[in-house]
Amino acid sequence: MRIFLNLTLILVCFLAGYAEDIYLFLLPPKQGEVVPFTIRLRQPFNFDQEKALGNNRVAALSQYAPLYAYNPDRAAEAAAQFQALLKKIADLSLQRTSGLKDFSQYVKASYGLDLPEEAVKKLFRYRDLKNLMDGILTLQDSILQGKITAEPEPMAGKSTVEVLYPKPSGVVVVPAADVITLEAARLTLQEKVQQLFWQVDKGIRDVVLSIALATLKPNLTYDPEENKKRVERIIQRYPSTMIHYEAGCVLVPFRHKVTENDRLLVSSYSEELERDLFGKAPWILIAILLTAVFYSLVLEKIIKDEWRKDPPYNLFLSLLIMTIVLLKACLLLTPLPLAALPFAALPLTLVLLQNDKISAVWTTLTGAVLVTLFSGCSFNVLLYFAFTGMAVVVSLRIRRRIHILVASMAIGATNAVLFFAFWLDWTSLLHPSSETWIMKLTQAFNPEFVQSLGWTFIGGVAAGPLSIMLLPLLETGWHTVSTFRLSRYADLQQPLLKELLTKTPATYQHSMAVAYLAQSVGEAIGANTLLLRIGAYYHDIGKLANPRFFAENQAGKNPHDDLDPQESARIIIDHVINGEKIGRGTKLPETVLDFILQHHGTQTVEFFYNKATKISRPNKVSKKDFQYPGPKPQTVEAAIVMICDAVEAASRSLETPTRQTIENMVRLLLVKRVADGQFDECHLSTGCLAQILRTLVDSLEASFHSRVVYPWQEKQKEKVKDLPKKAVSA
């Protein structure tokens, strides 16, 4: 199982790092498609916009259709000018001398034409002038129905132009060929007038035609300012700068519809990935492999010796796998920044599972390395996750569920502080200036930075609920128990403890005394004191089945006097088996049941074994019939309860409990169990045994301390001395 979990951890971490790359390689997103998950950078990336967008910008500018504004009043303006001209001729024709001169000046001022005096005279004498002008005006109207411009330069090389009509029509795209120049329009008018009014006196016709040509104005006007803005928008759509993206930045968010720019950005990133894929992927795999191997060696060579037992390898590996899967899901299904990942759920869950800080530190550091390898591959990312995890392991002590809320808020605040610290430019701050500080303060109030800081805080707060969700899975699957669940059994009002107090009060007092000694020892050597106390409370619940067969509960005749030694030994040994049955019936956690099964290990019930050897020949007595079924203590906590159980029971038989006698007793009990190999499977070191010896001697000496003798007790002693010896013995 351990090898399988290690291989799973390596595979899951590697696939987590290259999930987006595999998707981009096999199914690159097309424009208009919706991406199934967030595509973010696993490594820094420089996006050369000129290289990626330059051709598109050139194509967009070449396809740009210039905008012209349409003026529908040109025909009306020409008609008004012709009417004004007719009225002017009518008024001036009455003035024979000055009229001709005034009209010439009027035409020059209004139309910029110099008319010969003879031509003006003919015009004044021409009786059908109004019909001629109406006919020319009709031709002019027909020409103005088209699109005329005096500024054809922007249309050069364009196939279409955009014409802005008055509301409600708006902008209409028309072929560039439909737009004619003002010169072409005037030439057309001239040709049509000459063709239709050939019979009119050329001198009169040419004068009216020149005036008509002057009144023919373009109905399309080119707006240079508006067109400049439109061109700038195209250029802005296809910028030409070099953009640097940090590792972890989002390229395309979850469920986003791919635009043209998104496609170009992803394509550029994919090209760089293809160049580096086979170069970096093996190194990433090797880094993940070495991390897993190093972590296993730490568990085996360091934590195992420090814990004095086999660490829960499968639990740690499973928790790492679950953490990687959950954090990768957060990266794929949200556009949140890396700093918002609830990585603190890993160390928080370890704290809640009552694992020691050494294993929690190493597991958290391993998790930080693995998460960095598949998320950012950045040293800053590694430091951020490592510092966050260390802060949780070192500072948090959680005993109740309400503490999770406080812990989550503290984690969120820690994340925010670390995020702000990594955001600061410490190089520039080492050479402070007013401009540097003002710029940094300004950036700190940037909405984008404030939003990232807020998500970072929320990510820390989310670690608490996430760890609560993980606990039931880990407790069920890996033979472990959380602080919350364990704390329920520390309540002395538990029905099982109340039954123990009611039916076997002496055994109950013995269990409480063992709990006191075990907790003292646990505090001295750094063991799990909560687990020790609870294990001591329940270690002898099997005596509920036959309470009168145990010495502390006997009053009067000993029932073992009438039993065969082997039968007595079976009853004594059965309190371990019965304890397991009672514990399972009341759904005690497996970790507590372990104390019931292991607190006697595989020791021999010596009193009845020796009694049996005296009754029968030693070679006919099987020692296995007088041994507890075990197993031997598998954890240092189970070993402590075994020692404290024996010491507490033996201490009751001390007649003179001096420090020396107490120490001799404890030392003897320890030596016997060491010689019997009872601690071979829990890695209890000699240094710990020495500390246990000192702690137990100190605790027992304190419990046996001398008391003040009251005066009435002194008088009673004197009376007893004066009594005859026979009276005393009676």
pLDDT at residue 716 greater than cutoff 70: no
Query: CA of 517: how far to CAs of 276, 491, 637, 692, in Å?
Result: 62, 18, 12, 10
Q: Which of 164-178, 652-666, 712-726 has the lowest mean pLDDT?
A: 712-726
Identify the residue with better confidence: 545 or 246.
Answer: 545
Stretch 417-432: mean pLDDT, rounded?
68
d(CA 597, CA 595): 6
Residue 321 has pLDDT above 80, yes or no: yes
Instruction: Give the mean model confidence (pLDDT) for residues 224-239.
Output: 88
Q: What is the pLDDT of residue 441?
A: 55
- Token representation of residue 369: 């390395």
| Domain 494-711, architecture per CATH | Orthogonal Bundle (1.10)
Peptide bond into 168 cis (omega under 30): yes
What is the pLDDT at residue 718? 53
pTM exceeds cut of 0.85: no
Per-residue model confidence (pLDDT) at position 369: 93
CA distance 474 to 591: 14
Mean of the pLDDT values across residues 357-379?
A: 86
Confidence of residue 279 (pLDDT cuts 50, 70, 90): low
Q: Which residues, including other chains, have CB under 8 Å from residue 237's CB and lie 6 or more apart?
A: 57, 60, 261
Q: Letter for the amino acid at 245?
A: Y
Give the pLDDT of residue 477: 67
What average pLDDT does this structure show over 146-171? 89
Measured over all CA atoms, what is the biggest interatomic distance in the chain, rounded to whole angstroms? 179
Confidence of residue 720 (pLDDT cuts 50, 70, 90): very low
Average pLDDT over residues 207-234: 89
> How far, in Å, CA of 136 to CA of 154, rounded?
31
Mean pLDDT of all residues in 536-549:
91
Assess whether pLDDT exceeds 80 at residue 50: no
**Amino acid in the structure at residue 259:** T
Query: DSSP states of 133-174 as a string?
Result: HHHHHHHHHHHHTSEEES--GGGTT-SEEEEEETTTTEEEEE
State the pairing for strand pair 242-245/45-48. antiparallel
- CA torsion through residues 186, 191, 196, 198, sign: positive
Look at residue 507 in the predicted model and tell me its pLDDT: 92
Q: What amino acid occupies position 129?
A: L
Task: Give CA–CA dist 9/356, Å, rounded.
Answer: 22
Higher-pLDDT residue of 162 and 124 is 162
Mean pLDDT over 450-460 rounds to: 86
pLDDT band at 725 (very low <50, low <70, confident <90, very high): very low
pLDDT tens per residue across span 626-664: 999 989 998 889 999 999 999 999 988 888 888 899 999
Task: Give me the helices (H) in 430-564, please.
Answer: 434-444, 447-461, 463-477, 483-488, 495-503, 505-525, 529-538
Cα–Cα distances in Å, from 187 out to 74, 195, 399, 510? 18, 12, 98, 123
pLDDT digits (tens, 9 = 90+) for 583-615: 999 989 888 999 999 999 999 998 888 888 888
What pLDDT is recorded for position 222? 92
Amino acid identity, position 39: I
Whole-number Å distance between alpha carbons of 665 and 659: 10
Mean residue pLDDT across the chain = 83
Mean pLDDT of 699-708: 73
Q: Which residue has the higher pLDDT, 273 or 181?
A: 181
Closest CA to 683 of 319, 304, 349: 304
pLDDT at residue 723, rounded to an integer: 40
pLDDT at 510: 93
pLDDT score of 594:
92
The domain limits of the chain are: 2-40+258-477, 67-228, 494-711
Query: Strands 160-165, 170-175: parallel, antiparallel or unpaired by DSSP?
Result: antiparallel
Q: Is the pLDDT of residue 517 over 90?
A: yes
What percent of the chain shows pLDDT beyond 90?
27
Cβ neighbors of 703 (< 8 A, separation 6 or more) are: none
Phi, psi angle pair for 172, to nearest 5°: -130, 135
- pLDDT confidence of residue 509: 93
Cβ-based neighbours of 501, under 8 Å, separated by 6 or more: 508
